[in-house]
Amino acid sequence: MTFPESSSGAGRAAAAQSNKSDARASVRRRVLPLPRGRFAWVTGVVSTVWLAFNTVFWCLLLFPLALLKLLLPFAAVRRGVDPVLNGIATAWVSCNAGWLARIQDVSWDVQGNSGLRYADWYLVNCNHQSWVDIFVLQQSLNRRIPLLKFFLKQQLIYVPVIGLAWWALDFPFMKRHGKAALRRNPDLGRQDQETARRACAKFSLVPTSVMVFAEGTRFSPAKRDAQGSPYRHLLKPKAGGLAVALNAMGKRFRSMIDVTIAYPEGAPSFWDLACGRAGQVLVRMRQLPVPPEFCEGNYSGDKAFRTTFHHWLGQQWQAKDDEIEALTAPARTGAGADQARAGSTVPEHAPKPMRG
């Protein structure tokens, strides 16, 4: 948090107090006396065991209610059971996030996650570089907005324990067919769209945050070059998932939360996170209004609508690419973390955030 300069000294006093609070938060963040350096792998093993235990514990509470919802598939039952399921999942996320935050060597710098409402609907769009992104998003938004619901690959339903948990929480599983398969059978793409629509219909019953990684896969320079992406730090965005969510639930969404995650020291792996060496993590969020025209258009059948939608998303993506460039520039030039925080100004051409 920063305060404007004040000749009266009040601003400087507030800034000093804020800096003290930030320092205390940084000290408190790493409170678990676990090994570092060459023995960081011990921390990784302990973290993995803890996360597995925590997952099994909360899933034992989750599954009986999920079975009840399966046996009684009525909207009234869903309205009563889903908030309890989401509450269990939120507690699970809180325990995971609390542990991981307290073993990191470096505090995460998160800005823009204030002014949100837990009892409302949100559409969240974020760039994607690593599995760590999910933990970063959960840490940054947990209990500030409803539980994040992701669009997942169909294969992930077979992940032991957690695959069933995702199913119980109504996470939509998408087939995500390749371009060659879609050319042979265009109906395959429509099947995924229908899956997304059914999921969004369920989400409309209780406050939900629909999470979309518009790139569709994790970024890498090789993937960027292979697809000819015009961006430095992003793949080309896929608009279909966003369009379906807006069409199905657009009028429900309070706003769209545009999230940018940057790793100035390079994207960490899950093992890096578990070992407490994720490094510097910079998160920037903006609330954007949901364009009302995107709540009613026909993305698949209206070429003019698709063109307009792609232009809107492209503007966001260019702004995001510029912001990542600014956030990571200090690391590339040898400047410090303070300059990274100061260099996170959103470009002028970015879509304007909501006010109030």
Interaxial angle between packed helices 240-249 and 187-203, expressed in degrees from 0 to 180 and rounded to the nearest 10 = 40
- Identity of residue 339: Q
Q: What is the span of the domain harbouring residue 41? A: 37-342
**Is 348 part of any domain?**
no
Pairing assessment for the beta strands 152-153 and 109-111 based on DSSP bridges: unpaired
Q: Are strands 253-262 and 282-288 parallel, antiparallel or unpaired?
A: antiparallel
pLDDT for the residue numbered 333? 78
Please tell me the distance from the alpha carbon of residue 273 to that of residue 279, in angstroms, as a whole number: 8
What pLDDT shows up at residue 345? Answer: 52
Residue 279: CATH number of its domain: 3.40.1130
Contact between residue 238 and residue 214 where contact means Cβ atoms under 8 Å apart: yes
- Residue at 2 is within a domain: no
Amino acid type, 305: F
pLDDT (0 to 100) of residue 350: 55
| Closest C-alpha to 141, from 194, 79, 90 | 90
Q: How many domains does the chain have?
A: 1
pLDDT values of the chain reduced to their tens digit, one per residue, 356 residues? 333 333 344 443 443 443 433 333 333 455 677 878 888 999 999 999 999 999 999 999 999 999 998 899 888 888 899 999 999 999 999 999 999 988 998 889 999 999 999 999 999 999 999 999 999 999 999 999 999 998 888 888 888 889 989 988 988 887 766 667 667 776 766 777 777 778 888 888 889 999 999 998 999 999 999 999 999 999 999 998 898 889 888 889 999 999 999 999 999 999 999 999 999 999 999 999 999 999 888 887 889 999 999 999 999 999 999 999 999 999 877 765 555 555 555 555 555 555 44
pLDDT at 1: 34
The Cα 247–Cα 298 span in angstroms is 8
On whether residue 153 sits in a domain, the answer given is yes
Question: What is the DSSP secondary-structure string of 35-93?
Answer: --GGGHHHHHHHHHHHHHHHHHHHHHHHHHHHHHHHHS--HHHHHHHHHHHHHHHHHHH
Does residue 92 belong to any structural domain of this protein?
Answer: yes
**CB contact at 8 A, 70 and 25:** no
What is the spatial distance between Cα 215 and Cα 218, in angstroms, rounded to a whole number? Answer: 7
Cβ atoms 149, 121 nearer than 8 A: no
pTM exceeds 0.85: no
CB contact set of 281 (below 8 Å; sequence gap of 6+): 106, 108, 109, 132, 136, 261, 262, 263
Does 24 fall in a domain?
Answer: no
Give the orientation angle of helix 303-333 with respect to helix 240-249, to 10 degrees: 120
What's the rounded Cα separation, in Å, for the pair 80 and 61? Answer: 16
CA dist 312 → 205, 239, 319, 322 (Å):
28, 10, 11, 16
Residue 5 belongs to a domain: no
Residue 299 inside a domain? The answer is yes
Residue 32 inside a domain? The answer is: no
Task: Give dist(CA 209, CA 122) in Å, integer.
Answer: 5
